[in-house]
Structure 1
């Protein structure tokens, strides 16, 4: 193999994330240089290959360290990855919801103990609720709590006009779920899991949904799979029983709304706020809208040269968000 062909093969294996093939081609390149009489170059290549193997082994055996690799090849268009630092304690959650999520964490952290007794930890979750209620943020917090990467399945890369391709890409995503432990988020899940009897249904769409059901049911990996939707009524009923837990999110009640606003304004002086006047205006606003309203009042204070949040400023921001939601 010529040097140019070695370069092509090296780059191809690097793009596809195939480290084993990359090192194999590098060894071939070293042998090629030795045949040409370039002993020093061949020796240097072999030393670098040995060092790469040693580092790879050290990384794989290092306990407690989170190694996150960017998806490569076809996976690059299907998955985005991040390393969350968010924790559940950073979120304002109703007590019942917080307890259910803590149960997931306990089972994930003690999954080896459960499996030793023939039991399976909760790891396939369906989050349902209105936009801005904290579903996506919860997936990030779970990843942060478990010190795992958060992989978001990008539906624009998954769903194509050719349903056969979609099913193939879906399998590729589940292969990644099996091979790399993490929290995998299928956001806006109704785009994939729509009811099979909808009027615009075709045979290919049914096959894609059936493929997802089969892949989800067969998956026995250590990864946490989270599907989130704003429209549970659109989902095929067969999906619900494939998940270990269906967790419902709602709009915050007055107590939770106050907690959300206080958390977002914790760096500011809120001592003069009239909560009895403010909280009625928070009704029907989501977690995200409340957070945006708090940020608006905070920006107004900063630009006015103050650290104090006034009742009028927060009320104005809440009313503005409510008008935007209509």
Structure 2
């Protein structure tokens, strides 16, 4: 709770209709809450103070039917979606949560930064194994900023025609420079692979060169997020082009408890999510793996006519997940 002195100032300025004073005191209240590590409350107060347009309202301002296309195949280079996941829907490490809180605050208070000749971080690199929350976090950032999420379609951008991939990237950068969005370059390594790799042909190296130049020259309105499962193969020159690098990993025991709490919200069950017997079952799994197992377990509960989710349902879904992993592993070995 804000100090008594700040609350008195806030109410006084509000009752007197002094909007400038009310805004200044409100910002002090928000900063005080953030200093106390009350980030969720601080973020909510910022949205109330500065206003927050929904992503759908933001999207209506632009003609997304005119998305840039690949010239040869006529395929859209971007997929636009309204983000639905909010910050409370994402389980993050403490470090990543703190970084994203800071980035969101920078964008919520962009006017203050710009008055001092500063700008919010607008180039983020998300690294880590599949299914650990990179795409979900990009969606969350878009939702919290009230912006549409644009996913760059790598399958459309990469072309077999000489020079066409770089041309497609130019179309993407020209478009996102004028339209405020959160732009996700998923499978980023397909565009930024190490140029020193002797196995790669000259065209890919030209694409990486072009991409680096576009990143350097970018001065648009969108926030760029690049995500990769293979950060080890990225070109060394890529890393310094990003303001922040976030590393995503499989959830630890505390994160597992939070994840289970979110995913089992509203589900009647015969166990507590902080039961070590339950959380140990998910040890080493990614966020996506956990969600898939829980979804299977809940389906089994519903289809069997049971009212409560049990440990037996979880273990049955685990066995199916293990069988799935074995099949995937065999197919990868064949390939």
Please report the TM-score for the alignment, with normalisation by the length of structure 2: 0.75
Instruction: Give the SS at the match of 2:58.
Output: coil
Matched residue, 2:47:
none
Matched residue, 2:58:
66
Please report the TM-score for the alignment, with normalisation by the length of structure 1: 0.77
1:105-127 CA deviation, whole Å, 9 max, x = no partner? 01111122212211121110000
Q: Structure 1 residues 163, 138: CA separation in 2 closer, same or farther (over 3 Å shift)?
A: farther
Question: In the aligned structure 2, how far is the partner of 1:325 from the partner of 1:74?
Answer: 38
Question: In the aligned structure 2, how far is the partner of 1:260 from the partner of 1:322?
Answer: 20
Question: In the aligned structure 2, how far is the partner of 1:190 from the partner of 1:307?
Answer: 46
Question: In the aligned structure 2, how far is the partner of 1:214 from the partner of 1:71?
Answer: 28
Question: In the aligned structure 1, how far is the partner of 2:58 from the partner of 2:165?
Answer: 30
Question: In the aligned structure 2, how far is the partner of 1:208 from the partner of 1:163?
Answer: 10
Kept in 2: contact 1:195–1:236 (CA 8 A): yes
Question: In the aligned structure 2, how far is the partner of 1:199 from the partner of 1:116?
Answer: 47
Question: In the aligned structure 1, how far is the partner of 2:306 from the partner of 2:241?
Answer: 53
Matched residue, 1:310:
310
Kept in 2: contact 1:127–1:229 (CA 8 A): yes
Kept in 2: contact 1:130–1:249 (CA 8 A): yes
Kept in 2: contact 1:84–1:143 (CA 8 A): yes
Q: Structure 1 residues 73, 124: CA separation in 2 closer, same or farther (over 3 Å shift)?
A: closer
Kept in 2: contact 1:152–1:184 (CA 8 A): yes
Structure 2 stretches of 5 or more lacking a match? 1-51, 70-74, 327-335
Are 1:162 and 2:161 counterparts?
yes
How far off its partner does 1:251 sit? 0.3
1:26-48 CA deviation, whole Å, 9 max, x = no partner? xxxxxxxxxxxxxxxxxxxxxxx
For 1:27-66, list aligned pairs within 5 A.
Answer: 64=53, 65-66=57-58
Q: Which moved more, 1:190-199 or 1:109-118?
A: 109-118
Matched residue, 1:211:
210
Kept in 2: contact 1:71–1:80 (CA 8 A): no
1:246-285 CA deviation, whole Å, 9 max, x = no partner? 1000001122112212211112122435822222221111
Q: Structure 1 residues 73, 176: CA separation in 2 closer, same or farther (over 3 Å shift)?
A: closer
1:74-98 CA deviation, whole Å, 9 max, x = no partner? 4361011011121111112222211
Kept in 2: contact 1:290–1:318 (CA 8 A): no
Q: Structure 1 residues 100, 143: CA separation in 2 closer, same or farther (over 3 Å shift)?
A: same
Kept in 1: contact 2:67–2:78 (CA 8 A): no
Question: In the aligned structure 1, how far is the partner of 2:124 from the partner of 2:66?
Answer: 26
Question: In the aligned structure 2, how far is the partner of 1:98 from the partner of 1:325?
Answer: 30
Instruction: Give the SS at the match of 1:238.
Output: coil
How far off its partner does 1:189 sit? 0.6
Question: In the aligned structure 2, how far is the partner of 1:312 from the partner of 1:233?
Answer: 40
Higher-Rg member (1/2) = 1
Kept in 1: contact 2:250–2:287 (CA 8 A): yes
Kept in 2: contact 1:185–1:226 (CA 8 A): yes
Matched residue, 2:198:
199
Query: What is the RMSD of the two structures over their aligned residues, measured on CA atoms?
Result: 1.8
1:205-231 CA deviation, whole Å, 9 max, x = no partner? 211111111111111112100000000
Are 1:188 and 2:187 counterparts?
yes
1:165-219 CA deviation, whole Å, 9 max, x = no partner? 1111101100011111100110011111110011222222211111111111111
Question: In the aligned structure 2, how far is the partner of 1:322 from the partner of 1:97?
Answer: 29
Instruction: Give the SS at the match of 2:246.
Output: strand
Instruction: Give the SS at the match of 1:142.
Output: helix
Question: In the aligned structure 2, how far is the partner of 1:286 from the partner of 1:67?
Answer: 32
Q: Structure 1 residues 117, 273: CA separation in 2 closer, same or farther (over 3 Å shift)?
A: closer
Instruction: Give the SS at the match of 2:80.
Output: strand
Are 1:282 and 2:286 counterparts?
no
